[in-house]
Amino acid sequence: MAEKTQKSRTFDAVMIALMAAVIAVCSWISIPVGSVPVTLQTFAVAVCGILLGMKKGTLAVVVYILLGVVGLPVFSFFTGGIGAIMGATGGYIAGFVFIPLAGGFFCEKFGDKFILNFIGTAVGLLLCYTAGTLWYVFVYLRNTGDVTIGAALVTCVLPYIIPDLLKTGLACWVAKAVKSGLGAVK
């Protein structure tokens, strides 16, 4: 019994570390669009919640963020450091924690149903957008002057809604396939 528990903990730790690394790799795949690039981070973060569940998925995202905060170049454009979090788009990075929280919660509460996993990750995405936009406005006001929430939404959210929803749907599908494959491994 103790051996099985140790194997389970080891497997969980490896999956958390692996997913933190996957998020980093996906952040480097980016297309510059204004001040917030389009990356595959959203995809990887959504996979975390569905694949690992609420707690472990969120922990993987927190590990990823902490790796960036200590200076490893894990954020988009190979950036890292506290400045990336304190900058205008840092709220979106911090807001990533909401995606596995909500997505993982829906997955754990309602099972492996695509539409409910999608709704859960979309709710998390909405919370991420909210945190990121509020932070963007705060930093922008502090550094350069007036900006409205509407202007921030037009700049930082509207161009990304459709790509992020597509990535979220793809993440639901990929996570389910990976779960199926991992079931044979466990």
Identify the CATH number of the domain in which residue 44 sits. 1.10.1760.20
Do the domain assignments include residue 165? yes
Do the domain assignments include residue 184? no
Which helix (H) or strand (E) covers residue 31, if one does? strand 30-31
Is the separation of the CB atoms in 155 and 131 below 8 Å?
A: no
Domain hosting residue 96, numbered range: 2-177
At residue 41, the pLDDT reads 94
Do the domain assignments include residue 125? yes
* Sequence-ordered list of residues with C-beta below 8 angstroms from that of 161, at least 6 positions apart, any chain: none
Do the domain assignments include residue 54? yes
Residue 132 has pLDDT above 80, yes or no: yes
* Sequence-ordered list of residues with C-beta below 8 angstroms from that of 91, at least 6 positions apart, any chain: 131, 132, 133, 134, 135, 136, 138, 139
Do the domain assignments include residue 183? no
Other beta carbons within 10 Å of 91: 23
Render pLDDT for 29-62 as a digit per residue (tens, 0 to 9).
Answer: 988 776 667 899 999 999 999 999 999 999 999 9
Q: What is the value of pTM for the model shown?
A: 0.91
Q: What is the full DSSP assignment across 108-122? A: HHH-S-HHHHHHHHH
* Number of independent structural domains in the chain: 1
Nearest to 100 by CA among 64, 50, 136, 39: 50
> Strands 38-39, 30-31: parallel, antiparallel or unpaired by DSSP?
antiparallel
At residue 34, the pLDDT reads 67
Residue 156 has pLDDT above 70, yes or no: yes
Is the separation of the CB atoms in 40 and 166 below 8 Å?
A: no
Beta bridge pairs of residue 30: 39
Is residue 34 left, alpha or beta, with left meaning phi > 0 and alpha meaning psi from -120 to 50?
left
Report the C-alpha gap between 49 and 96 in whole angstroms: 11
Longest Cα pair distance anywhere in the chain, in angstroms? 61
Do the domain assignments include residue 186? no
Q: What is the full DSSP assignment across 162-178? A: HHHHHHHHHHHHHHHHH
Do the domain assignments include residue 185? no
Render pLDDT for 53-95 as a digit per residue (tens, 0 to 9).
Answer: 999 999 999 999 999 999 999 998 899 999 999 988 899 999 9
